[in-house]
Amino acid sequence: MVKSIKDLNLKGKKTFIRVDFNVPIKDGVVGDDTRIQEAAKTIKYAIEQGARVALCSHLGRPKGEKKMEYSLKPVADYINEKKIFPVKFVEDCVGKIVEDAVNNMKDGEVILLENVRFYKGEEKNDPEFARELAKPFEVYVNDAFGTCHRKHASVYGVAELIHDKAAGFLVEKEAQYFDKLIKNPEKPLAAIIGGAKVSDKIGVIKSLLKIADVILIGGAMAYTFLKYKGISTGTSLVEDEQMDTVRDVLAQADKAGVKILLPIDHIISDKFGGEPTVCNEQAIPDGYMGLDIGPKTRQEYAAALEPCKTVLWNGPMGVFEQPAYAEGTFSIAHKLASLGATVIVGGGDSVSAVKKAGVADKISHISTGGGASLEYVEFGTLPGIDILR
């Protein structure tokens, strides 16, 4: 188990909280503020406890240079404007300016430090930079699950240097769900893996073979599996260089007694985004590409999920950003909402599908980290979480 922020004495303590404020900003204005709202619970708790809070985040990829289009100042302005909590902006994340700001704070006050990726030392987890970041603080809290798979200074190096450390509410919830999924899930367990590339998901699929009872494959990666099995895939997206990988996965699944389900029919078109046609066969005709799972597959997948007590979903079933090819993905979302099982959804596309389908409140856990959630399942833990255990 990770230590929770509730286990720490925060009163009067100079507290470094790593948050994920990597939000879309256009013309200096914050677009989607979901990440800010999600972190607010931990921040408000720290304020109530009388902590002296410094928030640290990255924004975009400034590659270790001070590029002002990646400044977090618009985020501070937005938080104040929307009255989420009162915050002062500090124009750096290390050095005297930060030390002075921290030393002049009163209990329950909050500052937001400038983008931590303005320094090369952040992504390199440079020990000297980590020391600079940690210097003014007595307590470390990580509430940025989306960066927990990265061994960066603000995620790992600072946590190594500060004795009193814990997870914020977001990270604590993620760790609870993923630890249970990996160590003692309620069975039967199904994994639904979609998306374009086998190569992106191979590590997670191999780890799932140790815990899953059934794996449902969708999205373009299914065509690589079908082609390996000698089934015609027309002009569908296929990774020819992944055939050995697919062979290994199917052999391991066979050995472990894990059922791997592949689409038995498709929604196809003669070009990407063209007119949709139902293909009732598993084989896709020449000149056509698969762009979603078909109605028979939707039924078969729903039936396979019915008895399951735990489900992990990562990746869409088709090109769901186009309405003509979204039905497969939405059918999965609605089925999961009606199951009454522990359902974990991770990865940007699946998360937005669940939200678009209007069933987000029926899902046990919607993960805030795409890459982080995959690596958690693949490796059984993450550097940023391990350091808090």
For 337, the domain range is: 185-378
Same domain, 229 and 352: yes
In angstroms, the CA 104 to CA 16 distance is 15
Same domain, residue pair 328 and 289: yes
Q: What is the CATH number of the domain that holds 346?
A: 3.40.50.1260
Whether 317 is covered by a domain: the verdict is yes
220 with 264, same domain? yes
pLDDT confidence of residue 349: 85
The mean pLDDT of the chain is 96
Percent of the chain residues past pLDDT 90, beyond the cut: 94
Q: Does any domain span residue 24?
A: yes
Q: What percent of the chain has pLDDT over 70?
A: 100
β-strand partners of 164: 139
Is 60 annotated in some ligand binding site?
yes
Q: Does residue 159 share a domain with residue 42?
A: yes
Same domain for 224 and 128?
no
According to DSSP, the β-strands at 25-26 and 29-30 are: antiparallel
For residue 197, is it within any domain? yes
Q: What is the reported pLDDT for 273? A: 87
Residue 58 labeled ligand binder:
yes
Q: Is residue 241 part of a domain?
A: yes
pLDDT tens column, 204-216: 999 999 999 999 9
Q: Would you list the DSSP string of 176-243?
A: HHHHHHHHS--SSEEEEE-SS-HHHHHHHHHHHTTT-SEEEE-STHHHHHHHHTT--BTT----GGGH
Span 296-335, pLDDT tens digits: 999 999 999 999 999 999 999 999 999 999 999 999 999 9
Q: Is 20 a known ligand-binding residue?
A: yes
Please give the structure tokens belonging to residue 112: 């937001």
Which pLDDT score, from 0 to 100, does residue 252 have? 98
50 annotated as ligand-binding: no
Checking if the pLDDT of 186 tops 80, the result is yes
- Check residue 324 and give its pLDDT: 96
My answer on whether 90 and 222 are in the same domain is: no
What pTM, to 2 d.p., does this model score?
Answer: 0.92
Q: Is 347 annotated as a binding residue?
A: yes
- State the total domains in the chain: 2
| Same domain? 198 vs 95 | no
Residues 162 and 190 in one domain: no
Q: What is the pLDDT of residue 367?
A: 93
**Is 176 a member of any domain?**
no
Reading phi first (left if > 0) and then psi (alpha if -120 to 50, else beta), residue 369 is in beta
Is the torsion defined by CA of 129, 131, 132, 138 positive or negative? positive
Is pLDDT of 1 > 90? Answer: no
pLDDT for res 191: 98
388 within domain boundaries: no
Q: Angle CA(282)–CA(220)–CA(175) in degrees, nearest 5?
A: 120
Average pLDDT over residues 189-197: 95
Strands ordered across the beta sheet of 277-279? 277-279, 266-269, 289-293
| R_g of the chain computed on alpha carbons | 23
CB 149 within 8 A of CB 169: no
**Would you please indicate which residues are annotated as catalytic (active-site) residues?**
35, 197, 348, 371
pLDDT at 277: 97
Last residue of a domain, one of 148, 171, 194: 171
Residue 349 assigned as binding residue: yes
What is the per-residue pLDDT across 143-172, written as a single tens digit (0 to 9) for each? 999 999 999 999 999 999 999 999 999 999
Q: Are residues 238 and 139 in the same domain?
A: no
Domain membership of residue 91 (yes or no) is yes
Residue 359 has what pLDDT? 96
Domain boundary among 145, 171, 197: 171
150 is in an annotated binding site: yes
Select from 115, 141, 171 the last residue of a domain. Answer: 171
Q: What is the pLDDT of residue 216?
A: 99
For residues 133 and 37, is the Cβ–Cβ distance under 8 A? no
Q: Band the pLDDT of 49: cuts 50, 70, 90.
A: very high
For residue 366, the number of C-alpha atoms closer than 13 Å in the C-beta half-sphere is 19
Pair 315, 350: CB distance under 8 Å = yes
Q: 198-202, 291-295, 299-303, 341-345: which range is least confident on average?
A: 198-202
| Residue linked to tokens 């998360």 | 351
pLDDT at 72: 98
Q: Are residues 165 and 192 both part of a single domain?
A: no
Quote the pLDDT of residue 19: 98
Q: Is the pLDDT of residue 368 over 90?
A: no
> Is pLDDT above 80 for 239?
yes
Indicate whether 103 and 242 sit together in one domain.
Answer: no
* CB neighbour class for 288 (10 Å; exposed up to 12, middle 13-18, buried from 19): buried
Residue 32: the pLDDT is 86
One domain for residues 35 and 82: yes
Which pLDDT score is estimated for 194?
A: 96
Q: Is residue 335 one of the residues assigned to a domain?
A: yes
pLDDT of residue 348: 73
